[in-house]
Amino acid sequence: MDLDTIISVLAATLRLTTPLLLACLAGLYSERSGIFDIGLEGKMLAAAFAAAAMAAVTGNMWAGLLVGILVSIGMSMIHAVASISLKGNQIISGVAINFLAAGLTTLLGLTWFHQGGRTPALAEGGRFLGLDLPFAFELKSVPVLGPIYDGLISGHNLFVYLAFLAVPLTAWVLYRTRFGLRLRAVGENPKAVDTAGISVVKLRYQALLITGLLCGVAGAYFSIAQGSGFGNNMTGGRGYIALAALIFAKWRPVPAMFACLLFGFLDAVQIRLQGVDLPLVGQVPVQAIQALPYVLTVVLLAGFIGKAVGPKAGGVPYTKEN
Amino acid sequence: MTNLKRHLGALTAGVAAVALLAGAALADPAVIYDLGGKFDKSFNEAAFNGATKWATETGGKFQDLEITNADQREQALRKFAAAGFNPVVVTGFAYGDPLAKVAAEFPNTNFAIIDMVVDAPNVRSVVFDEHTGSYLVGAIAALKSTTGKVGFVGGMDIPLIHKFYCGYKQGVQAITPGAEVIENYTGTTPAAWNDPVAAGELAKADFDRGADVVFAAAGGSGLGVLQAAKDAGKLAIGVDSNQNYLQPGSVLTSMVKRVDVAVENAFKDGTAGGTWTSGIQAMGLANQGIDYALDEYNAPLITDDIKAKVDDLKAKIIAGEIVVHDYSSDNSCP
Instruction: Mutation target for B interface from A20, A110, A111, A118: give the one with most B CBs within 10 A.
Output: A118
Q: Residues of A with CB below 8 A from B227's CB?
A: 121, 227-228
For chain B, the C-alpha Rg in angstroms (whole number) is 22
Q: Is residue A206 assigned to a domain?
A: yes
Could you tell me if residue A55 is inside a domain? yes
Contact B45, B52 (CB under 8 A): no
> Is residue A157, in this structure, part of any structural domain at all?
yes
Residue numbers of the domain that contains A27: 19-124+135-249
As a whole number of angstroms, the longest Cα–Cα distance in chain B is 88
Q: Is residue A189 assigned to a domain?
A: yes
The average pLDDT across A14-43 equals: 96
Tens digits of per-residue pLDDT, A280-291? 666 677 677 777
Q: Are strands B290-292 and B251-257 parallel, antiparallel or unpaired?
A: antiparallel
- B159 interfaces chain A, CB cutoff of 8 Å: no
**In terms of Cα–Cα distance, which of B48, B95, B121, B57 is closest to B280?**
B121
Distance of CA A15 to the CA centre of its chain: 12
pLDDT in tens, chain B (334 residues): 455 555 555 544 444 444 444 444 458 999 999 877 788 778 898 999 999 999 999 999 999 998 877 889 999 999 999 999 999 999 998 999 999 999 999 999 999 999 999 999 999 999 999 999 999 999 999 999 999 999 999 998 888 899 999 999 999 999 999 999 999 998 888 778 878 888 998 999 899 889 999 999 998 889 899 999 998 999 999 998 899 998 889 999 999 999 999 999 999 998 888 889 999 999 999 988 999 999 999 999 999 999 999 999 999 999 999 999 999 888 888 8
B266/B124 Cα distance (integer angstroms): 8
Residue A315 placed within a domain? no
Q: Is residue A34 part of a domain?
A: yes
Torsion, CA B99, CA B105, CA B110, CA B116, rounded to 10: 20
Q: Which helix (H) or strand (E) holds A94?
A: helix A90-113
The residue type of B210 is G
- In this structure, is residue A106 part of a structural domain? yes
Sequence-distant (≥ 6) Cβ neighbours of residue A170 within 8 angstroms = A25, A28, A29, A253
Torsion angle in degrees (nearest 10) through CA of A204, A208, A209, A213: 160
The angle subtended at Cα A105 by Cα A104 and Cα A107, nearest 5°, is 60
What letter does residue A58 receive in the DSSP assignment? H
**Residue B281 to residue A187: CA distance in whole angstroms:** 67
Could you tell me if B21 lies within 8 Å of chain A, comparing CB atoms? no
**DSSP class of B28:** P
Q: What are the helix (H) ranges across A121-252?
A: 145-147, 158-176, 178-188, 190-195, 200-221, 238-248
Domains of chain B: 2-128+260-283 (3.40.50.2300), 131-256+303-330 (3.40.50.2300)
* Residues of A whose CB is below 8 A from B188: 286-287, 290
> How far B227 CA sits from the closest chain A CA (Å)?
8
Instruction: With beta carbons less than 8 A apart as the criterion, state whether A173 and A300 touch.
Output: no
> Which residue of B194, B197, B205 is in closest CB contact with A222?
B197
| CB-CB under 8 Å, A117 with B201 | no
Distance CA(B327)–CA(A15), nearest Å, equals 36
CB-nearest partner of B39 from A115, A130, A287: A115
Rounded CA Rg of chain A: 20
Whether A39 is in a domain gets the answer: yes
Neighbouring C-beta atoms of residue B181, cutoff 10 Å: 23
Chain B positions in Cβ-Cβ contact with residue A274 (cut-off 8 Å)? 183-185, 202
Number of domain units in chain A: 1
CA-nearest of A261, A186, A241, A318 to A44 is A241
The pTM for the full model equals 0.80
At A195 the three-state DSSP class reads helix
